Amino acid sequence: MKKGTVVIIGAGIAGLSTAYYLVNQGWNVQIIEQNTLDNNCSYGNAGMIVPSHFTPMASPGMISQGIRWMFDKKSPFYVRPSLNFNLMDWGFKFMRYANKNHVSAHVEPLRDLNVYSSQLYDSLSQDSAFNFELEQNGIMMLYKTKSVEYEEKELAKRAQELGLDVEIKTAEEMQALESGVKIDILGGILYKCDGKLNPMKLMKQLVSYLKSRGVIFHEQTKVKGYNILGNKIKEIVTDKGNYAGDEFVLCPGSYLMELTNKLHLKLPLMPGKGYSFMYTPPTHVKLEHAALLLEAKVAVTPMDGKIRFGGTMELGSPNNKIYKNRVEGIVNSIPKYLKNLSVDYPKQDIWYGYRPCPPDGLPYLGRTSKYDNVTIAAGGGMMGLSLGPAMGKSISDILSNRKIETNISVFSPDRFG
């Protein structure tokens, strides 16, 4: 029995996950996507499932580190100079939240949402319709400096206190995990609680599954506004017609503010541009685990017989440019950690996308009190793929009046007023 019609804006991992759980609970689902189904941030990311990321991006030390990085165009973090009001407002809010109290108040909700999402990925992988290279074998955090060693060991101890499966290892112990790659590091942390998958396969399989269950996709369809009656949206107005529904879910990634401004909702967010590319290693080189090269902030993920490298966080107005120095920063960092990987600057197929980053480093998840039929699942930032299933399942539970498995109150879309 169909429960009604849900219109979802956005076909990234949050939107597709929401559709997956809703259609399996009996809802009629339509998805509006302003791009094509193979062109969003969920396809080109590092494919990491990260309960290890239990601290929000707005944390102590990020401001001073960010200021140092701003003067290096190849650095992991860069703010492109601009008089953009949204960027300045975002920056002031970020500074307000980058403190110990903010981090302490949110480590457990972030841990719980990530762990829950990891469990949902396990369940999804048991469905015969899916085979997206899920491996829950851990992620290696590799560091080369004493200062990062101290920070990471303290973080690992906190993770252990939070009940996560984490091991602090010497350089020799980390090397023992990877016989096919020569690692040059001071030491590392193995977050055994983490995992990885192939995001391209996952997204394509989700789309195929949803189409087989009757979900209707409206690609290359841009939202222009809303027809509202009282406290309810009645229709989404697009450049290809209007779409009516009983419930509306906003999962538009970095386009969130563009859509919520039209509803007079305050959900500050900046797009954080990141790059990735695929590398085919020599036959004698094989990487078993995903890894983060910590000082460089570069993600390394074995994927479909290749390796995906990704990184950088570039805040500023969106554009279609590939800045060579940003990609060079990734390429140049690789042999500093992985000695026998000779990676040249990629001549083609450099991917870029925009991570949706709220200024407090927390996702937006739940109903907004200003409308009776609007829920939001967006703003996962660098945890977007990791949090996708938990965000989608939470939204479907809200709409179906079921118990939500984790405490999502701190992620309220109303928290900025």
Residues 222 and 327 in one domain: no
* Same domain for 190 and 214: no
**What average pLDDT does the segment 51-56 reach?**
94
Whether 125 is covered by a domain: the verdict is no
Residue-level pLDDT at 84: 80
pLDDT digits (tens, 9 = 90+) for 320-348: 889 899 899 999 999 999 998 889 999 88
| CA 251/CA 325 separation, integer angstroms | 31
CB 140 within 8 A of CB 301: no
CATH of the domain at 83: 3.30.9.10
Q: 402: pLDDT confidence band, cut at 50, 70 and 90?
A: very high
117 within domain boundaries: no
Instruction: Specify whether the CB–CB gap between 26 and 1 falls below 8 A.
Output: yes
Q: Which pLDDT does position 64 carry in this prediction?
A: 62
Instruction: State whether 290 and 401 are in the same domain.
Output: no
Q: Which of 338, 357, 376 is the last residue of a domain?
A: 357
The number of domains in the chain is: 2
Residues 73, 158, single domain; the answer is yes
Lowest-confidence segment of 32-41, 159-168, 204-213, 232-241 by average pLDDT: 32-41
Q: Clarify whether residues 331 and 283 are in a common domain.
A: yes
Domain range for 60 is: 53-98+134-195+270-357
Taking only the tens place, the pLDDT of each residue in 149-187 is: 999 999 999 999 999 999 999 999 999 999 999 999 999
37: in domain: yes
Percent residues over pLDDT 90 in the chain? 81
Question: What CATH number did the domain enclosing 255 receive?
Answer: 3.50.50.60
| Torsion angle of the four alpha carbons 69, 75, 79, 82, in this order, in degrees rounded to the nearest 10 | 110
Q: Are residues 177 and 255 in the same domain?
A: no
For 55-69, 95-109, 110-124, 140-154, which range has the lowest pLDDT when averaged over its residues?
A: 55-69
Residues 323 and 208 in one domain: no
Do 76 and 219 lie in one domain? The reply is no
Q: Tell me: do 348 and 276 sit in the same domain.
A: yes
Residues 25 and 66 in one domain: no
Domain endpoint, select from 319, 338, 357: 357
Q: Tell me the pLDDT tens digit for each residue of 378-387.
A: 999 999 999 9
Q: Is 80 exceeded by the pLDDT of residue 58? A: no
Q: What is the mean pLDDT of the chain?
A: 93
- In this structure, are 87 and 161 located in the same domain? yes
Give the range among 211-220, 290-299, 321-330, 373-382 with minimum mean pLDDT: 321-330
Please, which pLDDT band fits residue 78 given cuts at 50, 70 and 90?
confident
Residue 299 pLDDT greater than 60, yes or no: yes
Tokens of 136: 């829950």
213 and 251, same domain (yes or no): yes
